[in-house]
Amino acid sequence: MKNGIELASIPNEQYSEYRYNVIFKAYKWDPQVGDHNTIAKHAVLMEQETARQLETWAEQLSAETMQMEEALIHRQELAKKLSLPRKIIKNLFRLSSYERNQNIRLMRFDFHPTTDGWAISEVNSDVPGGLAEASVLPKIACQYFPGYEPHRHVGDSIFQAFSEKVKRNGVIALVHATSYSDDRQVMEFLSDYFQAYGYGTVFAAPDHIAWKDNKAICIIEGKEGFIDGIVRFFPLEWLPNLPRRANWQGYFDCLTPSCNHPVAIFTQSKRLPLVWDELGVDVSTWKKLLPETRDPKSIKKQDNDWIYKPALGRVGEGISIREAITEKELKIIEKIAHRGHGSWIAQRKFASQPLTDINGETFHLCVGVFTVDGKSAGFYGRISPYPRIDDRAKDIPILVSKGGKTIEG
């Protein structure tokens, strides 16, 4: 089987029970986007050798990414080329006190099987999602596929990283957009896990945190006081949109152990490849796996070898993959990307290798490989009928063969 993976169907007569368990045990409270069911009827079966290779690449990419972040702290003139919000740029000087070993660094690298092997499309560097889906879905699905098992648990990796920096019984603030259920379900997953091991948690909006001597304080009524750690699931570029009274700048020079520290914003930008050659950092793994990336102004419109992406886009929004959008949408994106090229990138298009199930249906796959402090931490799968993985993609468990078993195909 090409790329060491196979698409296997969950038995039809058991799918309803599986979906029910995913909703209530895997924190997938809202399993729909519009009319689209986002819980796949399949699982991805992966060879051990393939799993090891993806993890090795992810750990190499993570090391290179952290080195670029630390270099950019001291090269803020380059940071201005990353299309970061002006108010964020004005506060980058606060990052000068950043210490990697005082914080927890979570990333997710998105791998795609292509006709030429594996490629990556991006790193979700700032607030990567899919934590419960990567940790719990495989445990639920493995009962249907003897010989295959879950591979790592990202929630446990995050907890273990905090346990090395925060005393037992410490309080972790779970910072997120509190009005969004899809954000809250991520935080509920982590809260339950932390509490099971004796830690306290508090659900907080970003402006529920204040600062004293660069340490975080909760100001929620009835929960006031110092907190011992922060998990931020609120995109950094949204912070300047908070009410004026919010001292969001305190996140930048915070001494409280954080996952993720604002230093992550440097590598969240998809314009990173435009400056990495000036950083004096070895990025050989990035260059091997990421398609060629340019400023859109260097690309001719209607050139089918390239796609456009917003520099700080998320969940596939605004990506100009022809098979996934209308011709009208494509022309609008091309026009915006060329006119505002400083906030976009052009990336050479790779040929996604679709997977086919037993009924002949084809799906395109993205395998998100998590790392925590540079170590692999689990797989997050999504599939789509077209080669753009966006908010309508379905969550799919990734299971890895036991005992060196390989897939026949």
Summarised one tens digit per residue, pLDDT across range 105-125 is: 999 999 999 999 999 999 999
Give me the sign of the Cα torsion angle 86, 92, 94, 95.
positive
Q: What pLDDT band is residue 408 in, cutting at 50, 70 and 90? A: very low
- Running DSSP on this structure, what letter comes out for residue 407? -
Strand partners, 381: 367, 396
Does 57 score more than 50 pLDDT? Answer: yes
Spell out a b/e string for 220-256, using b for 16 or more CB atoms within 10 Å of the CB, else e: eeeeeeebbbbbbbbebbebeeeeeebebbbbbbbeb
Give the pLDDT band (50/70/90) at residue 409: very low
Res 241 pLDDT > 60: yes
Average pLDDT over residues 264-292: 97
10 Å CB burial of residue 114 (0-12, 13-18, 19+) is: middle
pLDDT digits (tens, 9 = 90+) for 138-153: 999 999 999 999 999 9
pTM above 0.85, yes or no: yes
Q: Residue 192 pLDDT more than 80?
A: yes
Q: What is the pLDDT of residue 406?
A: 40
Distance from C-alpha of 241 to C-alpha of 115, rounded to nearest angstrom: 42
Q: Are 242 and 280 in contact (CB under 8 A)?
A: no
| 378 CB-near residues (< 8 Å, 6+ apart) | 134, 135, 151, 152, 153, 154, 157, 369, 370
Per-residue pLDDT, averaged over 322-346, amounts to 87
pLDDT at 260 > cutoff 80: yes
Over residues 328-332, mean pLDDT: 86
Question: Which among 39, 34, 2, 35 is positioned nearest to 17, based on CA atoms?
Answer: 39
The pLDDT of residue 404: 57
- Asked if the model's pLDDT at residue 405 lies above 60, the reply is no
Please state, in angstroms and rounded to a whole number, the distance separating the CA atoms of residues 153 and 331.
42
Residues in Cβ contact with 295 at an 8 Å cutoff, skipping those fewer than 6 apart: 274, 341, 342, 345, 346
Helices 181-196 + 154-163 axis angle, to 10: 60
Cβ burial 273-298 (10 Å sphere, 16+ → b, else e):
bbbbeebebebebbeebbbebebbee
Burial of 338 (0-12, 13-18, 19+ CB in 10 A): middle
Bridge pairing between strands 32-33 and 36-37: antiparallel
Q: Rounded CA gap, 249 and 210, in Å?
A: 10
291/249 Cα distance (integer angstroms): 34
Rounded to whole angstroms, how far apart are CA atoms 286 and 284? 5
CA 392 to mean position of chain CA atoms: 16
- Is the confidence at residue 32, as pLDDT, over 90? no
Contacts of 318 (CB under 8 A, 6+ apart): 308, 309, 310, 333
Name which of 95, 89, 68, 93 is nearest 255 in CA terms: 95
